[in-house]
């Protein structure tokens, strides 16, 4: 069903452009195809989006940032073998950085293997703070501000 996935993905991008909505994309083991489709069907939309639960390369992140995307990191950021994800998180422009839980999946260390809970996002934030040599409070302020700006929220949660 790879062709079906590509066709439906393109249809979703077209629909998002028609309704002037951003997209949230989770791509896994399909970076090259995802980038090709985004370049052909999204790059000039001006709508941006979110790369959800990002686990790709810096090259993919950079190209998507240039298309207006935010990059969101889940609990995978805390996994010992996820050095590639930490490398990307270190290089991310702060204004394009988000964190997430991806509940009920991908619980961060020290909760790995359990059902993920929204409260555990603090572990992802803590890991990001260490990587970026920032305080936990600064990471919370930066990422909350990015969410508000991207989703056009004025005050309040998140």
Give the model confidence (pLDDT) of 84-143 as tens digits. Answer: 999 999 999 999 999 998 889 999 999 999 999 999 999 999 999 999 999 999 999 999
| Chain mean position to CA 43 | 17
Q: Report the pLDDT value the prediction gives residue 90, as an integer from 0 to 100.
A: 98
pLDDT range class, residue 73, cuts 50, 70, 90: very high
Query: Does position 154 have pLDDT exceeding 80, yes or no?
Result: no
pLDDT in tens, 29-49: 899 999 999 999 998 889 999
Which pairing describes strands 49-51 and 97-99: parallel, antiparallel, or unpaired? unpaired
Q: Report the pLDDT value the prediction gives residue 61, as an integer from 0 to 100.
A: 97
Q: Return the CATH number of the domain spanning residue range 22-31+46-150.
A: 3.20.20.140
pLDDT range class, residue 150, cuts 50, 70, 90: very high
Name 8's Cβ contacts closer than 8 Å, sequence gap at least 6: none
Q: Report the pLDDT value the prediction gives residue 103, as an integer from 0 to 100.
A: 87
Write the DSSP assignment of 49-92 as a string of letters. EEETT--S-HHHHHHHHHTTEEEEE-GGGG-TT-HHHHHHHHHS
Average pLDDT over residues 9-38: 95
Which pairing describes strands 97-99 and 23-25: parallel, antiparallel, or unpaired? unpaired
Residue whose pair of structure tokens reads 């249809």 in the numeric block: 11
Domain limits of the chain? 22-31+46-150
Residues 124 and 75: beta-carbon distance below 8 Å: yes
Q: Report the pLDDT value the prediction gives residue 156, as an integer from 0 to 100.
A: 53
Q: Report the pLDDT value the prediction gives residue 157, as an integer from 0 to 100.
A: 52
């Amino acid at each position: 069903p790879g062709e079906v996935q590509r066709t439906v993905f393109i249809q979703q991008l077209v629909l998002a452009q028609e309704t002037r909505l951003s997209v949230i994309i989770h791509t896994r083991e399909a970076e090259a195809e995802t980038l090709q489709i985004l370049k052909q069907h999204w790059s000039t939309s001006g709508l941006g989006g979110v790369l959800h639960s990002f686990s790709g390369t810096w090259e993919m992140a950079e190209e998507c940032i240039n298309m207006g995307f935010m990059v969101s990191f889940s609990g995978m950021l805390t996994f010992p073998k996820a050095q590639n994800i930490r490398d990307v998180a270190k290089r991310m422009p702060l204004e394009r950085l988000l964190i997430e839980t991806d509940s009920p999946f991908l619980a961060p260390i020290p909760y790995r293997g359990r059902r993920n809970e929204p409260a555990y996002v603090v572990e992802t934030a803590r890991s990001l703070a260490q990587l970026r040599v920032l305080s936990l409070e600064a990471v919370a302020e930066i990422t909350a501000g990015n969410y508000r700006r991207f989703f056009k929220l004025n005050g309040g949660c998140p």
